[in-house]
């Protein structure tokens, strides 16, 4: 286990030139990936593989984007449990969430057939229907208006705030931006869905839902779950560097979310609600 808060670590590697056959031994910097168990009032809800750091944002963001809570004010306290590894050292890989008096989980956690990985937050769900969490917010009616020039510049703005990626090349990033293109929160993680949860949690801890009038920017592809998370917390637009999936497009159209993908200045592809782009 790496020390608490360590987001990168050094490992040995052999660099091989297949033409000359030369081998060079050296150390390399890689992103840390460790499990995080989220408990609510002492009961384990889920375990996800994540990059340590911003764990409280991740825990709250996960509870919100899963529709289990409606706001950060339903949480009384968050704390790291000092669970121990085989050597007896604390890992800080468990967050225990205590609900505020009178607060309850608003729906049952998803039924999963396996633990969550850093690759995909919906892996192991019993069915696609199980992850179609209903949103409380009518994002289709959000009056958000965006400049195409601003949208085209969001991936580069996000890239400039990715220090862990600079060192490792092995993490995703998510950012929450205003209509004018200002990034108000940015988080990195080995899991793209974790990065989104961290951003949502950070925003919710200093404000309230819905996150109307904002844009979610992601460094990866636009998956079904990323659109789902945006819908649940009231974000009306998602901008992705990579490609969208078919389910992501279907859900964006259904919920009235503006979905922009393949966003690389000066071009982009808009898959739903292009009327929001001037």
Which positions are annotated as active-site residues?
120
Contact 4, 143 (CB under 8 A): no
Q: Residue 27 forms beta bridges with which residues?
A: 12
- Whether the bond between 50 and the residue before it is cis, its omega within 30 degrees of 0, is no
Nearest to 66 by CA among 117, 130, 141: 130
Cα atoms in the Cβ-side hemisphere of radius 13 Å centred on 189: 32
The Cα 52–Cα 4 span in angstroms is 7
In this structure, the dihedral spanned by the alpha carbons of residues 231, 236, 242 and 244, taken in order and rounded to 10 degrees, is 60
State in Å, rounded, how far the first CA of the chain is from the last one: 49
Distance, CA of 242 to CA of 239 (rounded, Å) = 9
């Amino acid at each position: 286990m790496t020390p608490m808060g360590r987001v990168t670590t050094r490992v040995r590697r052999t660099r091989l030139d297949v033409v000359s056959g030369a081998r060079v031994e050296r150390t390399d910097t890689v992103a840390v990936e460790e499990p995080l168990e989220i408990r609510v009032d002492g009961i384990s809800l889920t375990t996800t593989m994540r990059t340590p750091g911003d764990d409280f944002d991740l825990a709250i963001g996960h509870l919100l984007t899963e529709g289990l809570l409606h706001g950060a004010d339903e949480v009384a306290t968050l704390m790291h449990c000092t669970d121990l590894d085989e050597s007896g050292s604390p890992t800080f890989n468990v967050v225990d969430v205590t609900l505020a008096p009178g607060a309850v989980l608003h729906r049952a956690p998803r039924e999963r057939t396996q633990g969550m990985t850093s690759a995909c937050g919906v892996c192991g769900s019993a069915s696609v229907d199980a992850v179609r969490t209903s949103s409380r917010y009518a994002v289709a009616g959000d009056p958000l208006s965006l400049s195409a020039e601003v949208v085209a510049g969001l991936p580069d703005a996000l890239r400039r705030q990715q220090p862990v990626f600079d060192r490792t090349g092995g993490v995703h990033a998510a950012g929450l931006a205003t209509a004018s293109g200002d990034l108000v929160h940015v988080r990195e993680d080995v899991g793209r869905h974790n990065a989104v949860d961290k951003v949502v949690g950070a925003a919710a801890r200093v404000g309230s839902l819905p996150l109307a009038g904002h844009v979610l920017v992601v460094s990866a592809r636009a998956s079904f779950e990323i659109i789902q998370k945006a819908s649940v917390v009231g974000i009306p637009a998602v901008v992705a560097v990579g490609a969208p999936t078919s389910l992501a497009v279907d859900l964006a159209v259904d919920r009235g979310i503006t979905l922009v993908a393949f966003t690389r200045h000066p071009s982009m592809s808009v898959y739903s609600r292009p009327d929001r782009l001037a």
